Structure 1
Amino acid sequence: MKPNVISIVLGGGRGTRLNPLTLTRSKPAVPIAGKYRLVDIPISNCLNAGYNRIFVLTQYNSASLNSHIKNTYNFSVFEKGFVDILAAEQTNDGDKWYEGTADAVRRINRYLEAHEYEYILILSGDQLYQMDFQKLIDFHIEKNAKITLATIPVNAKDATSFGILKSDENDRITSFIEKPKTELLVDWSSEVSDSMKGQGREYLASMGIYVFNKHELLNLLETTDGLDFGKELIPHAIEHSDVYSFQYDGYWTDIGNIDSFFEANIGLTDDIPLFNLFDSNTIYSRSRMLPPSKYAGCLLDRVIVAGGCIINADKIERSVIGVRSRIGKGTVIRNTYMMGSDHYQNLDDIVAAQKANRPLVGVGERCYIDNCIIDKSACIGNDVRITGGEHIEDGDFETHTVKDGIVVIKKKAILPNNTVIGSK
């Protein structure tokens, strides 16, 4: 029989480092790979492991996330599975929003009381990875652990951004340090596989994925007033309880900023991507009744194209093209993630836009776009040139933002004909 597990997906905070993609949506609602949302990743990992009782905790800019979950995850009336949204709310016990990951779980505990479970799996809603949670839970049970942390080897440079831990020969965690400075890492290397060690990845970082025994979690939440798992409850538990490290050596990335988000999406176009969409493990998402994509006179090289697109471009290289994208004749697109559109323009809308000399939704004719993220439903006119790269300075503007040389066209932004951004 399957272990009795309930999963909680944390909706995340304001996600300011992902601005402008999070100006109107939460981080887990940000589109990835042209057709999914970030929150689909942890939910799919749960479903693939057979764990189908899932709560998603939401707070900031949650309307699109709530809508996506409601329209995506529907189970048969004969099943006990669910994916339910628990939004931050005012109650008689308090009127504050969630103040941290542990505080969020503490405040929704009254909803957990209605369910029977032995183990609780706590996940972040903004990470990209494929993990077999069945193996994680089996490890937790085999070790007779009270808490298990999923960990991943990282190098010294990355270690300063994570909680770093050490474990003994039985994988029991003995010490923990949060975001250590480089000079403090001398005594924190751990036993890792030869392949990880060859890459200089010898420090075990917490992935923000936790398994708790039910009573251990309730006891921690009741006897401590910490607001965050990583900063407060986990370090406390390591000193007073049996906490183990489940070492994961697959692909995992924390989508924390524009650069990591961009690289994660563009990396999907590699011949053998680190995150493989073409895998036996299904990534679940909203089903759309879209027509097949249509191409005319276009050369595609290492490109992922979602459904419902109309593409007349000259050439598209190493790019991800999202649902309902429209790209005009003579256009060249390189190293770009185009998220697509939520809706098609009907003929009346197109005629009205043309009469007003207003760009249509999508990318117009004879454009050149490189090193760019184009958010949903942006309108880019004809003869527009967008050239991201190290030569362009960071900044936030009305229609776009530049971060680390990546140009991010804002959602529903309108770029008139002949606009130039970042020309060398």
Structure 2
Amino acid sequence: MDQIAGIINLDHEQDLLDELTYFRCGAAVPFAGRYRMIDFTISNMTNSRIESVAVFARRKYRSLMDHLEQGKAWDLDRKRGGLFILPPDWNDPTDISRGDLQHFHNNIDFLRRTLAEYILVSGSQHICNINFQDVLKEHKDVNADVTVIYKKVDELYPEHQMAHKLDVDEEGRVTSINNDHTNTNVYMDMYLIKKDYLYELVEEC
């Protein structure tokens, strides 16, 4: 079976919940008492048989680390694979990368060492129930370089204004990513890519 490793990228997520995100990132906001927002993403990954998950965290992540601990709640406290919380390396004088690229560049060892053939990159601010094995099957069936996940909504709500939107042609190929407030194809900040291809892109950039 083809393996998938997960990366939860919190780098560009916005803290839009006022007092709830003064001292914690959005991924660590409590939900129903005992849960946090990031739990939905991790549960989707582990329920999809993803056994190695990295979290790219940049700021206000102490509360997040306290909650995640070693990943035992998701059976990620394991010797092979498991849960990794990876802040950027601020002390690398050779690093001139910025934004998301800085995380991928600083933590390139995660890509080198994982046995997975595919990488699933996701944010934490879209609550859904999704089987990423179905995404992998579609990815392979159409021989895509990158498969992005979006939701076509019936009605746009205020919370959709901050989300990117996708223009998709009749063959299901993405032709543009935009902020069109009338576009109902809401990009869910999730994409699947072959590990070797992601590695090449990071090295080239």
TM range (shorter): 0.7 to 0.9
Q: Equivalent residues in 2 for 1:335-346 (5 A)?
A: none
More helix by share: 2
CA distance 1:14–1:8, shift in 2 (3 Å): closer
Is the contact between residue 162 and residue 178 of structure 1 (CA under 8 Å) also seen in structure 2?
no
Partner residue, 1:104: 103
Please give the per-residue CA displacement for 1:312-350, whole angstroms capped at 9, x wherever unaligned: xxxxxxxxxxxxxxxxxxxxxxxxxxxxxxxxxxxxxxx
More strand by share: 1
CA distance 1:63–1:108, shift in 2 (3 Å): same
The RMSD of aligned alpha carbons is: 2.6
List gaps (5 residues or longer) in structure 1: 186-202, 225-424
CA distance 1:72–1:110, shift in 2 (3 Å): closer
CA distance 1:76–1:86, shift in 2 (3 Å): closer
**How far is 1:94 from its partner?**
5.0
Partner residue, 1:145: 144
Partner residue, 2:186: 205
**How far is 1:144 from its partner?**
0.9
Partner residue, 1:314: none
Looking at CA atoms only, which structure, 1 or 2, has the larger radius of gyration?
1
Is the contact between residue 12 and residue 28 of structure 1 (CA under 8 Å) also seen in structure 2?
no
Number of aligned residues: 201
**How far is 1:116 from its partner?**
2.5
| Structure 1 counterpart of 2:190, one-letter code | I
Partner residue, 2:195: 214
Q: Calculate the TM-score normalised by the size of structure 1.
A: 0.43
2: CA distance, partners of 1:127 / 1:75: 22
Higher relative CO (Cα under 8 Å, sequence separation at least 6) belongs to 2
Q: Residue 65 of structure 1 aligns to a residue in which SS?
A: helix
1:170 pairs with 2:171: yes
List gaps (5 residues or longer) in structure 2: none
Q: Residue 92 of structure 2 aligns to a residue in which SS?
A: coil
Q: Equivalent residues in 2 for 1:5-404 (5 A)?
A: 5-13=4-12, 15-70=14-69, 72-73=71-72, 75=76, 80-94=80-94, 99-154=98-153, 155=155, 161-173=162-174, 175-180=175-180, 182=182, 203-224=184-205
**How far is 1:111 from its partner?**
2.9
Is the contact between residue 9 and residue 121 of structure 2 (CA under 8 Å) also seen in structure 1?
yes
| Structure 1 counterpart of 2:32, one-letter code | A
Is the contact between residue 163 and residue 177 of structure 1 (CA under 8 Å) also seen in structure 2?
yes
**How far is 1:18 from its partner?**
1.6
CA distance 1:12–1:27, shift in 2 (3 Å): farther
Is the contact between residue 126 and residue 188 of structure 2 (CA under 8 Å) also seen in structure 1?
no
Partner residue, 1:345: none
Q: Residue 89 of structure 2 aligns to a residue in which SS?
A: coil
CA distance 1:160–1:35, shift in 2 (3 Å): closer
| Structure 2 counterpart of 1:17, one-letter code | L
Is the contact between residue 15 and residue 21 of structure 2 (CA under 8 Å) also seen in structure 1?
yes
1: CA distance, partners of 2:47 / 2:80: 16
**How far is 1:131 from its partner?**
0.8
1: CA distance, partners of 2:16 / 2:98: 18
**How far is 1:58 from its partner?**
1.3
Identity %: 25
Please give the per-residue CA displacement for 1:16-43, whole angstroms capped at 9, x wherever unaligned: 4222111111111111022101111111
1: CA distance, partners of 2:13 / 2:111: 25
Partner residue, 1:394: none
Is the contact between residue 15 and residue 22 of structure 1 (CA under 8 Å) also seen in structure 2?
no
Q: Calculate the TM-score normalised by the size of structure 2.
A: 0.84
**How far is 1:71 from its partner?**
5.0
Q: Residue 138 of structure 2 aligns to a residue in which SS?
A: helix
